[in-house]
Amino acid sequence: MKGDHLKSTKHIGAFIDSKCVGVLSLFLASTDQLSNLSQYQLRGMAVDPEHRKKNIGRKLASFSENELRSRNVEVIWCNAREIAVNFYKKLDFEVISDEFHIPDVGPHYVMYKRLS
């Protein structure tokens, strides 16, 4: 993704027996819906289909939030696929946009969570 190699970008993985079973990336990026706050965008979250429903996504998100808190980041946000909205709501993210479409991917919503 654009920005993958920036020093400010963080890539986080979950491993079982040295096999990567989940990933996400954190990008220093802002959304217009949350002005005047330090922000990071969560992107590219994925969990291996064989390892879903094992709280790996929840653990990746929690680890990421703690990392960002340690850097005094106030907000984490994402463009959540429509099918992932309930997952993020369970992590206390809130929807702050109308539905929008990303070509070849489908409907999304901007969601965020305050970290401070």
pLDDT in tens, 28-78: 999 999 988 899 999 999 999 999 999 999 999 999 999 999 999 999 999
Q: Which run of H or of E encompasses 67?
A: helix 56-70
Cα separation of 6 and 81, whole Å? 25
* Domain boundaries, given as residue ranges, for the chain: 10-114
pTM: 0.93
**pLDDT at residue number 69:** 97
Instruction: Specify the pLDDT at position 36.
Output: 84
What digits encode the pLDDT tens for the residues 18-27? 999 999 999 9
Residue 51 dihedral angles phi and psi, to the nearest 5°? -120, 15
| 10-114 homologous superfamily | Gcn5-related N-acetyltransferase (GNAT) (3.40.630.30)
